[in-house]
Amino acid sequence: MKVILSKLRPSKRLVLVLSAAFAVSAASGAAAVYVGGDRLMARLGQPSPAGLACTTLRIVNLDHHGQRWVRMHVKTDRASGPDRVRTALRVVGALANREKADLYQVVVLDAAGPEERAAVRGAAIGAEVLFAPVPQSVIGMDEPFRVSYNDGKANRLGMFHGNVVDLDLDEVRGMMAKMDDRSLCVDPAAAIDETEVAQGS
């Protein structure tokens, strides 16, 4: 029996080789876990294809020469231009699924931006989407979508002073095809729902 055990006893060289192999295997496993964690963190850090959380400021229903136009003003907090426009596209899609209209408009403002309806123009607009399901019936709409965003960052007053970037129809369709969320913005009790008859042309 002792003879058999002595024959099975590994040499020092074999022990060293096996130890080195196990060390490499353990290091590889640890590296795989580390790389996997890095990839997970990278995915978590990527922007959502459906944009960001937002808050509804107001909804305006317009009767424009027999057509129904719906305008929505929403706010996001410190969002980039692409995130703002993705948010606007998500919201306009959700709005169109909820109610029927001839023209939908979603305007994204910064959280620090103006509250008054008359002030929602120019540098206050971080992104804007116009959507007409039947563009031929709406004056000025040659395509279903007209989409733009300001590539600047909002200042402390919530104003944007960058360049306005217009998206073409293929870019819009590509963004919307990747969306995994079709939700509207949070609608607080203070949100204003207005109805009016448009004046003039």
Note whether 9 and 73 are same-domain residues. Answer: no
Note whether 21 and 64 are same-domain residues. Answer: no
Q: Which residues make beta-bridge pairs with 127?
A: 108, 149
Note whether 21 and 104 are same-domain residues. Answer: no
Note whether 14 and 67 are same-domain residues. Answer: no
Q: What is the pLDDT of residue 136?
A: 96
Q: What is the pLDDT of residue 188?
A: 82
Note whether 64 and 26 are same-domain residues. Answer: no
Nearest to 91 by CA among 123, 59, 138: 59
In a domain, 50, yes or no: no
Q: Domain with 81 in it: what CATH number?
A: 3.10.310.90
Number of structural domains, the chain? 2
- The edge-to-edge listing of strands for the beta sheet with 164-167 is 164-167, 145-150, 127-131, 103-110, 67-76, 55-64, 192-197
Mean local confidence (pLDDT), 134-153: 96
Residue 37 is part of which domain span? 2-45
pTM over 0.85: no
Instruction: Give the percent of the chain with pLDDT over 90.
Output: 65
Note whether 90 and 7 are same-domain residues. Answer: no
pLDDT at 157 over 80: yes
**Residue 67, phi then psi, degrees to nearest 5:** -100, 150
Q: What is the pLDDT of residue 48?
A: 83
